[in-house]
Structure 1
Amino acid sequence: MNEKKLDVILSNYKASFKELNSEPNGEYYKWYTVEHFDKNWDIDAEDFSAMFREATVKAHRLINNKVVEPLNGILELSKHNSHKVREMFKRLYNENESSAKGIQGKVNDFINEANKTLESLDSGKWKYSQHVGAVVLYLAIFNPSENYFFKATEARTFAEYIEYDREITTGNFFNLKNYYAMCDILVEAIKEDKELLELHETRWAYNNEENGRKPDIKDDYHILAYDIIYCAHNYKLYKSKPQKVKVKKTGTKKSISSKKKEMQEKEKGIIDRLSIDISNVNEKIRELEDKEEKVVIPRLEGMKVIHKSFKEGTVISQFENYLIISFPEGEKKFAIPNSFASGFLSLEDENLMKEFLATYEITKEKELLKEELKQLSLEILKHERILDN
């Protein structure tokens, strides 16, 4: 990690502190969101939907946007089966799985169960889909002293800038353990920065609605760490000198600022939507890989095969995904299962042929999904560049 670059971000964050927390930016809202959730969350509430709606009413800015609405997705699921959703959150919030690996497993399970159920209810409601960022945020607002808020673009740009040496997220990959480890490093830097800690304690004065009241939560500076990561990206704090935070203006300038903000929100929404697509494609690939592990390629040594041109031959050797077949005119090498699927080779045993064809279908579908994953990743990079400009 490049400590000098981290110092640049912290220095610019402190220099921009007033603008970040003054209206209309009001970045202090994150702490009040957690407090409101804590006061209203009750997993055993008789009316789970009503409880969830109230507990997360201040979290929409953190989780929803104009394109995807994960919070509304939870309400949609609750409308059909609130008991199932309640159980999903019980498993997600089960503290028996406290390791990063265990937490990531719970996040993936939550996403898969939620999205499969949503798909079965109405395949057109993709905007309600759950994704990594949303579910990690559910964890963070429930227990911020153990978890961190997460948004993929912000996390990736922060990691790249400070030259963090562990992979956190790419278009088709997320490592929660590495992300939490990076945030832990940032928390340690926060604790050593007396000026930053003093500024942080003045944050609440900018909240006129609460008359400067400090929110009653324990987060061990985890929310502050995310706030720095988020603001560094969204307010261009990576510059050697802090860029003045944009505030609302009157007249024409206000209109221009409004349009730019709308464009940014649209791009963020598209990125979130693409992230959901990537998550869904990854899940399909994992399912195919599970099928692959159960497939046993039949041994064909000594068996007769028929080739379109060379006619009948005998398999004399089989290794990895290849057969060596002896024909009257000599030995030939063939890739399997492709040669059977394409019709160049055939077996008299119909059951064996079905096994090879099933294996081929899995392989082919995986290749198509990987290509789709590549295109989605490129699409995300394109929209992230638009957002950064």
Structure 2
Amino acid sequence: MSDKKDLEQLRQEIDSIDQQIHQLLNQRAECAERVAETKLQAFSAENGEGDISKVIFYRPEREAQVLRNVIARNNGPLEGKTVARIFREIMSACLALEKPMEVAYLGPEGTFTQAAAIKHFGQSVISLPQPSIANVFSQVESGQCNYGVVPVENSTEGMVSHTLDNFMDSPLKICGEVELRIQLHLLANETASSETIKTICAHQQALAQARNWLDNNWSGVDRIAVSSNAEAAKMAKNDPTIAAVAGDIAAEQYGLMTMAKSIEDFANNTTRFLIIGSEQVPTSDSDKTSLIVEVNNKPGALLKLLEPFHSSGVSLTRIDTRPSRTDIWSYVFFIEFEGHQDDETIAHILEGLGDYSRVLKVLGSYPKAIL
């Protein structure tokens, strides 16, 4: 009887705590609504009857600071990132009260890019699938979507060239980044079997990430690269001769059975995605900066490009190349490094690079990935 009473008392304590959490959530939501009203009033006072769609409700640097603070002050028993993910959803729901955000991503529904969008913005965002990376850029450039999410690199297969190429001509800025652990499965509809499957479809990156496993287990089956893993899952949904390499979100979206789980060749397979928007992001105190630079095709050009970072003690996190659009056998460098473009040291480096670069385009400074 004593154990039963103790358990009942603990349940009552949990109910009481839940009630307090509920009250605090509503208080936070009411505060978010007041923030929206204050921003609208300030905008109207400055711009009269101007276009209120230009009011900035989402502040990437502010959300990054909140999440870092959540992790820093957490003392368990829940892990810091677990609590931060809960706060991510709280902020997402509260932001939707201020203004529901529309975010474009590389579709169709069920892609890892959609999963990245949800991880970064939370479940309350309105995510809109696009047929290509170029379409994601155009939706944001035209103002039809507030932000976009595009893949930029995979830990085993390197950079996504289509994303880098779109940055060449786009006025958009990088506003954030998100890293997503990629688990690939072999999916098919419920009537399929190893005897019926004649083709395995996926995005070319996914086929490459599972190349060894497919060679060892399905060596005699044709592989076809399609626009996305979700597109492959969509094809497999109604065709027992097709299997798709895709993730959990695609399996759920299209009602597919899993023939084999976690077929990626490397257990730490991770893809990084960029958040693109029209606004420059202020410093969050833990940032990265990305830029595109083209130098004259002369001996020592790359060394001269990198030396200011070395001498200033700035850590480069990525450097890649793309062919120049103006000269044959010339290249544009895509460089990422720690720090914000408004930092005194970074600003000095950028000023020096501009003196001898043919093209220098800062793509944005943005908070480092947290979750």
Give me the TM-score of the superposition, normalised by structure 1. Answer: 0.25
Please say which structure displays the higher CA radius of gyration.
1
Give me the TM-score of the superposition, normalised by structure 2. Answer: 0.26
| Structure with the larger strand share | 2
| Structure with the larger helix share | 1
